[in-house]
A and B are shown apart, each in its own frame.
Chain A
Amino acid sequence: MTLFAPDRDPLQVTRRQFVRTASIGLAGSSLATMLAARQAPAQIKGSNLRILTWSHFIPAYDTWFDKFAGEWGEKNGVKVRVDHIPHLEIPARMAAEFAAGAGHDILFNGSTILTRIYFKTLADLTDTYDQIGKKYGGWIQAARSPVEVEGRIYGIPVYYILLPMLWRKDLFEEAGVKPPDTWEAARVAARTLKAKGHPTGIQLSHCNDANLNWRSLLFSFGGSETDASGDHPTIDTKEMREALKFGKALFDECMTPEVFSWDDASDNRYLASGIASWIHDAISAYRTTESTNPAVFKNTYIGLEPAGPGGKRVSVSAPNAFMVWKFSKNQAAAKEFLVHLMDNDKQGMIESTGYNMPFLNDTAKKPMPVIGSDAKLQVLQDFPKIVAFFGYPGPYTTQIQEVANLFVLPDMFTRVARGQGIDETIKWGLGEYQRIFAKHKKA
């Protein structure tokens, strides 16, 4: 059987071809019209959309998000349900939904990014990603790393959470020390201020901030975690040695042993208590002092990521993305909702009081919502160029996710801070990295 009769004129159009071409044209033009009108297609009407997301650190954002999702559902005839759970529970929930082949349609991933583990059962969102990017001037450079697998996109990056320098200008001025624009300046300031009862602290414990903060320091020192392919760990380097040496000095001179017990919120409390000279944390730490300790709030300033010895600045942030299960029967509605969410990217940033940093270039243009009009926060607008995620300069791979889950990098800094030799520590760390890399099937 052949598809075409051999004696047919190639320019001749059959009835079937005509119908097919006309249908495609009609569907395309309808989609374009609907997108232009920001109206959802009729086929999503009557469907149910279940969204699993985290409990945001800014509760007002959750209130807005739930209302926003509900209103979108009402407008488009979609029954929307939003479930919030603590972000640490998301991996277990995701595993359970995968095993059951049922659950939510849209899933949130924050801090622990599981795109590469689940990509075979996640809906391919490349078209949606491209469509959104095209509309809003493209995505910032770091956006693809957490959601891209083998050239396809399996998640829509919605925002990332920055950890800038939060420093006490009053204490710095009183002690006559320079602002913490470089890691060395930060060290000198904290050393001076520790003697006056104002040490600093970075978590040397098992928590996500430890993973983020020590990576920022390492990468700003010119170090890296993997090569550009993400296949090979690159932690046995001169830069890693320098970073570890600096980390040890920072602990000895500027911190107290409290940092060994800290969780993600301990440094917030440290700042709010008025003791910390500076911390390297999300701006929620600064925001909360507005009500808990107004004097600290007034004197706390936000700094750009401190530069390493070579002037390099890399800010390791926590990415947040939404994914859609392939088994979801409501993929069309899910994609429509995600497009609508990103259409309101600026509003989301406003509702989060500037906590959510934008992945879209147009939203990231100066002046950004909220932070662009706040003198202290304006510096955050310079971060999109220096943002990186775990695995830098390579992609955010499954291997790196396990390295982060087991806190291997912060443990290296912890070992050195506790007195273990740098060579011995690197040998241990490299062994852990290599073991994890060797055992994982590359996604």
Chain B
Amino acid sequence: MSSTFQAGDPETGVRVAVPLAALPRSGAWFRSQSARRLGFGYALLAPAALYVTLLVAVPFLFSLYLAVSDATVGEQMAGFIGLENFKAALEMDSFWVALRNSVVFFVGAAVLKSLLGTSLAFLLLQEFRGKKLVRALVVIPFTLPVAISVLGWKWMYDSQFSVFNWVLSRLGLIGTYGTDAWPVWLGDPRLALVACILVNVWRTFPFSAIVLLAGFTSVPNEVLDAAKVDGCSFLQRFHNIVVPMIFPILMVGFLFDTVFTLSDLSVVYILTQGGPGNATQILPVLAYQIGIQAGNLGRGAAIALFLVPLLAPAMFVFLRNLKRREY
């Protein structure tokens, strides 16, 4: 065993042998300034690490445990049953419908939120009277309790008293009540899923807009002005200057939005409970109905975990892009 330690100068790359006796002893190292700084750094990180461990890692591991067990809500003990719950889920017709609907729900909502969020953010960038009031008002859908706001939408979609239908009918755009040309928003399988997506979009696109607005305001006006002088069009400025500069913010916004959308239980549960005939069934609602309402925790957890393969690739892509941009 060598009694020397290879040390080097990071700038020149020259490595020299330093006798071990010349290094501070381990006890002394803990009292050194480097050690104290390192300790301080970890102490600052500890609350976040604890938070993530307790509120993310532990529940995730617990749901993994539930998914491979025959746990029910009424029993303290659960036996290991391997992948039975996953197999059972895959055998369910309603699971495949829920999986398909979850993807459609996510993609549809993401596209609409991107368009509406970007438009709203640009509108809010403009100077006009009452801008502060408008900024405060647009976030109301996001801040309202979900049960109240979705119940409001349920009334607006009501088969008999829908305000949309009555307005459209008076304008002559649809038929009258009781005819086939009277849309039943939550009763027609195609319309019902669209109706649910629209409510999700209405609730959360202000969040997208606020995130984008924060990004847009961080772009220095000088850069945009210079681009204007150089003859860049609005789309060129947006594509070549704004998006690259606010990319990290965009990614974080997408990250949150993906999680919010895919795990949204309330909208579908309150509007349709997955009906009619599973037309709006999505994975979180199915997991709740089986896991909590029917008491089969293991299978409910397994169904909920199918969200992970949907979320993980998206998270991976977002985070990798973010990391690349850091250097």
* Known contacts A92-B292, A411-B278, A428-B93; is-contact A120 B188 (Cβ 8 Å): no
**A121–B73 alpha-carbon span in the complex (Å):** 10
Choose one: A94, A118, A206, A440; the contact of B275 (CB below 8 Å).
A206
**Closest CB in chain B relative to A397 CB, distance in Å:** 11
Q: Which residues of the other chain, A, contact B273 by a CB distance below 8 angstroms? A: 205-207, 407
B74 A98 Cβ-Cβ under 8 A: yes
Q: Is the CB of B93 within 8 A of A205?
A: no
Q: Check: B157 CB closer than 8 A to any chain A CB.
A: yes
Give 1 or 0 for each of B291-316: 1 = CB within 8 Å of chain A CB: 01111110100000000000000000
Q: Mark A390-416, 1 if CB is under 8 A from B, else 0.
A: 000000001001100111000100110
Contact B73 A205 (CB under 8 A): no
B163 nearest CB across to chain A (Å): 14
- Of the candidates B184, B276, B289, the one whose C-beta lies within 8 Å of that of A414 is B276
How long is the Cα–Cα vector from A390 to B144 in the complex, in angstroms? 37
B272's closest neighbor in chain A, by CB?
Answer: A206
| Interface hub of B70, B91, B159 (most chain A Cβ within 10 A) | B159
A269 partner, pick from B161, B292, B293, B296, beta carbons under 8 A: B161
Cα–Cα distance between A197 and B179 once the two chains are bound (Å):
11
For B278, the closest partner residue in chain A by CB is A411
Residues of B within 8 A of A205 (CB): 186-187, 272-273, 275-276
A435-B295 contact in complex given A98-B73, A411-B277, C-beta closer than 8 Å: no
CB-based contact A441/B72 at 8 Å? yes
Q: Using A259-B187, A262-B159, A270-B160 as known contacts, say yes or no to A118 and B276 having CB atoms under 8 A apart.
A: no
Complex Cα spacing A275 to B75, Å:
48
Task: Please name all residues of chain A whose beta carbon is closer than 8 Å to the beta carbon of B235 when the two chains form the complex.
Answer: none
**A261 and B187 contact, Cβ closer than 8 Å, known pairs A206-B276, A207-B273, A428-B93:** yes
CB–CB B275/A401 < 8 A: no
Of the candidates B72, B161, B274, B295, the one having the most CB atoms from chain A within 10 angstroms of its own CB is B295
Asked if A163 is an interface residue, CB under 8 A from chain B, the answer is no
- Which residues in A have their C-beta under 8 angstroms from that of B157? 261
B91 touches A266 (CB 8 A): no
Note all chain B residues with C-beta closer than 8 A to A261. 157-159, 184-188, 192, 272, 276
A371 / chain B contacts, CB cutoff of 8 Å: none
* B91 proximity list for chain A (CB < 8 A): 435
> Is B290 interfacial (CB-CB < 8 Å)?
yes
The smallest beta-carbon distance between B260 and chain A, in angstroms, is 20
B92 interfacial contact with A, CB 8 Å = yes
A260 within 8 A of B: yes
Collect the chain B residues with CB atoms within 8 Å of residue A367's CB: none
Q: Are B74 and A114 in touch, CB under 8 angstroms?
A: yes
B158, B161, B192, B299: the one contacting A439 at CB < 8 Å is: B299
A200 interfacial by beta-carbon distance below 8 Å? no
Q: How far is the CA of A259 from the CA of B186 in the complex (A)?
A: 10
Q: When chains A and B are docked, how far (Å) is the Cα of A440 from the Cα of B290?
A: 11
CB-nearest residue of chain A to B191: A261
> How close is B33's CB to chain A, nearest CB, in angstroms?
47
Q: Is B178 an interface residue (CB 8 A)?
A: yes
Residues of A within 8 A of B70 (CB): 441
Say whether B74 contacts A435, CB under 8 Å.
no
User: Per a CB cutoff under 8 Å, which of A112, A114, A406, A440 touches B94?
Assistant: A406
Indicate whether B64 reaches chain A with its CB closer than 8 angstroms.
Answer: no
In this complex, how many residues of chain B approach chain A with their Cβ under 8 Å: the count is 41
A117 touches B72 (CB 8 A): yes
| Residues 166-224 of A at the B interface (beta carbon under 8 Å) | 197, 204-207
Residues 21-65 of A contacting B (Cβ, < 8 Å): none
A94 to B295, CA, bound (A): 10
Contact of B293 among A259, A266, A405, A415 (CB under 8 A): A405
Name which residue of chain A comes closest to B279, CB basis: A260
Work out how many contacts link A and B, with CB atoms closer than 8 A. 127
Q: Least Cβ distance of A338 to chain B in Å?
A: 21
B88 is an interface residue with CB less than 8 A from chain A: yes
- Please give, as numbers and ranges, the residues of chain B lying within 8 Å of A94 by CB-CB distance: 73
Asked if A432 and B93 sit within 8 Å, CB to CB, the answer is: yes
- Asked if B295 and A117 sit within 8 Å, CB to CB, the answer is yes
**Does residue A301 face the partner (Cβ distance < 8 Å to B)?**
no
Q: A311 an interface residue at 8 Å Cβ cutoff?
A: no
Nearest-CB residue, chain A, relative to B75:
A120
CB < 8 Å neighbour of A402 from B178, B188, B275, B294 = B294
A99 CB, nearest partner CB in chain B, Å:
8
Distance to closest chain A CB from B266 (angstroms): 12
State the Cβ distance, B98 to closest chain A Cβ, in Å.
11
- The answer to the question of A95 belonging to the interface, with a C-beta cut-off of 8 Å to chain B, is yes
* A261 CA / B299 CA spacing, docked (Å): 28
Output the nearest chain B residue to A438 by Cβ-Cβ distance.
Answer: B88
| Residues in chain B near residue A256, CB distance under 8 A | 178
Interface residues of A in 100-117 (CB under 8 A from B): 112, 114, 117
Residues of chain B lying within 8 A (CB to CB) of residue A112: 293
Cα(A407)–Cα(B292), bound, Å: 15
| B160 pairs with A435, CB closer than 8 A | no
Please give me the residue from chain A that is nearest to B277 by CB atom: A414
Check if A257 is an interface residue, CB within 8 A of chain B.
yes
Are A257 and B295 in contact, with the CB atoms below 8 A? no
Q: Which residue of B lies closest to A115 (CB)?
A: B74
Contact in complex: B293, A91 (CB < 8 Å) = yes
A399 — nearest CB in chain B belongs to which residue? B294
Contact B292 A435 (CB under 8 A): no
Report how far A336 CA is from B161 CA in the complex, Å.
47
**What separation, in Å, do the CA atoms of A266 and B272 have in the docked complex?**
13
Selected from B184, B275, B289, B294, the residue in CB contact (under 8 A) with A257 is B184
In the bound complex, how far is the Cα of B276 from the Cα of A112, in angstroms?
A: 20
Chain A, 410-429, contact with B by CB distance < 8 Å: what is the 0/1 string?
01001100100000000010
| Most chain B CB neighbours (cut-off 10 Å) among A197, A205, A270, A415 | A205
- Show the binding face of B for A, using Cβ within 8 Å: 70, 72-76, 88, 91-94, 154, 157-161, 178, 180, 184-188, 192, 272-278, 289-290, 292-297, 299
A-B contact pairs, 12 of them (CB 8 A): A95-B292, A204-B277, A257-B187, A260-B186, A261-B158, A270-B160, A405-B294, A411-B278, A415-B277, A428-B93, A431-B93, A435-B91
Give 19 new A-B contacts, CB below 8 A, not counting A261-B192, A405-B290, A414-B275.
Answer: A91-B295, A95-B292, A95-B295, A112-B293, A120-B74, A120-B75, A204-B276, A207-B275, A257-B180, A257-B187, A258-B184, A260-B276, A262-B159, A401-B294, A406-B289, A407-B275, A418-B277, A432-B94, A441-B70
Q: Which 10 A-B pairs have the closest CB atoms?
A: A261-B187, A206-B275, A260-B187, A402-B294, A261-B186, A258-B159, A206-B273, A117-B74, A117-B295, A118-B74
Interface residues of A (CB under 8 A from B): 91-92, 94-95, 98, 112, 114, 117-121, 197, 204-207, 256-263, 266, 269-270, 273, 275, 398, 401-402, 405-407, 411, 414-415, 418, 428, 431-432, 435, 439-441
